[in-house]
A = this chain, B = another copy of it.
């Protein structure tokens, strides 16, 4: 059973991602280290004791649709109520509307713990937080007054309605219509798919944020507007009024996150027969600027999905470790006890467990560092703000894609460590892999993250920003060399080589983008993103090990450097030398 690794999370936040420096520099207001510790500890307790025990029933029972109403699994509604009562939904919400306004660093740490407890549970509130952000930044005062407080507290939940059957990665193809009524409202008509928690029994009302086109809107992405469409209208006194014409037509039968209802939502299909057709919505932000509104929160949503990857990896690692310490088979070097050896002593199992741990910790460090950059941007102005915003923008696609990729990898290794038991659903290892598999897909597929990294993030600051970041990563390795610390083996040499590879691949891709060799840049994007994460990971693990003085952290950094980081060299070659064979293989040759 998962136990929140509060100590490791705190260490990573404080000594790797930069929380302590930010606290000491007074960049996070009156937040103190004591308060951070108290919040992490209490979140850890709630995730361990309250969320985790309901994971399995969620997977087995799933969400159930009947007569357009969705019932969540037994105990889940009450879990949500307790979670909201604990104030967890309001952690980062605007203080003006009852939120605690705490930094992103605390939010991602808490998100990791909720998702380790149950990804199907944690994903719902994540959507609400996105709705809060969009509404807070772009909504009218009236909309904010009506909806924000209840969304911040969690009394109501929010959803994001982007995807349509023909419009997934390419939102330009969006067709949902919005017709102005004339009184400031709009009638919405259309079908949205893959709407997470589009319908459920957690809350009395659900606030849908829906992308749609006005009648005279330009084609493509410049003609998309964002609307707020409540499930129930809200009376002036705040009580709930009539039902809106926004209904869940079906829920998906998915590989995992069974308890999270993935809804097909129908807007304005006349379910509410007593009114004119159309779901009534209110514009958020300006007409035709809906995608911009969405993008302001896209980064945060991507970071939230990154935490799902970290979270599943952590849960899978703990489960595999517990099994490997318990299960006994055969003899092993290094075990001189009675009878068969616990399989944790077998070299191959040890390799698997260390690989799980190293990948998890690297993904965690990258993701927390991204949150740190967001917090620093929030606390800065001018050039400084630009620097931290660039940093967050640079790290976001890496955090999202690498964390969710290793989420799947680590969960799969976890199944393997369990042997035959891993394939049996009762064990729970397979469920983590099934849950993990969606995260590389949604919120922008990992292929799209890689393209974003190469095409939009490498050019930041005229290409200088990424070079500055790599220089910072070098400093960790320099510190290691200067420390003369014992037991690191070839860590410095290996990590430096990976940073060389990263620098070379970066220059290659920057030149390809600058010179319009787009196909080469696109071909190398996915291997480049992984190369980036591995090279950065070496420095983050070293940073953590030097700060901690802990033997396990040292051993982990060394294992990573001497076993996993060499992949960087192959990835660099793939970026620099592999594009042409891909370009030359026209699509007919692919089949």
Contacts and interface: CB of A to CB of B under 8 A. Distances in A.
A558 B173 CA distance: 36
A506 interface: no
A384 interface: no
Nearest to A591: B321
A523 interface: yes
Nearest to A349: B447
A589 B551 contact: yes
Nearest to A331: B170
A282 B354 CA distance: 46
A253 B580 CA distance: 46
Contacts of A440: 416
A551 B587 CA distance: 12
Interface string A561-585: 1111011111001100110111111
A590 interface: yes
Contacts of A438: 423
Nearest to A450: B348
A370 B583 CA distance: 34
A141 to B, nearest CB: 36
Nearest to A172: B330
A459 interface: no
Given A168-B420, A254-B423, A562 B580 contact: yes
A582 B563 contact: yes
Interface string A417-456: 0011011111000100110011011100111001100000
Interface in A325-368: 325, 328-330, 333-335, 340, 342, 344-354, 357
Q: Is the interface of A mostly helix, strand, loop or mixed?
A: helix
Contact of A566 (B333, B348, B430, B570): B570
A323 interface: no
A589 to B, nearest CB: 4
A408 interface: yes
A446 B490 contact: no
A219 to B, nearest CB: 12
Contact of A348 (B170, B172, B447, B490): B447
Interface in A485-532: 487, 489-490, 518-519, 522-523, 525-527
Nearest to A322: B591
A80 interface: no
A586 to B, nearest CB: 7
A37 B252 CA distance: 43
A169 interface: yes
B347 A522 contact: yes
Contacts of A451: 348
A585 B555 contact: yes
A308 interface: no
Interface string A51-79: 00000000000000000000000000000
B325 A591 contact: yes
B416 A163 contact: no
Given A170-B329, A566-B573, A570-B570, A420 B519 contact: no
A194 interface: yes
A547 interface: no
Given A255-B425, A587-B344, A329 B437 contact: no
A563 B581 contact: yes
Contact of A412 (B163, B408, B574): B408
A79 to B, nearest CB: 24
A463 B440 CA distance: 44
Most chain B CB atoms below 10 A, which of A334, A566, A581: A581
Contacts of A346: 447, 522
Contacts of A354: 582, 585, 590
A35 interface: no
A346 B344 CA distance: 43
B253 A425 contact: yes
> Which among A173, A347, A419, A584 has the highest number of chain B CB atoms within 10 Å?
A347
30 contacts: A169-B419, A170-B329, A170-B340, A173-B329, A253-B424, A254-B423, A254-B430, A255-B425, A333-B519, A347-B582, A347-B583, A348-B525, A348-B526, A350-B585, A351-B526, A352-B447, A353-B590, A412-B412, A415-B441, A416-B440, A416-B446, A416-B447, A430-B437, A487-B584, A489-B584, A555-B585, A563-B581, A563-B582, A566-B569, A568-B570
The 9 lowest CB-CB distance pairs between A and B, nearest first, are A348-B447, A255-B430, A347-B522, A566-B570, A563-B578, A170-B330, A170-B329, A555-B585, A562-B581
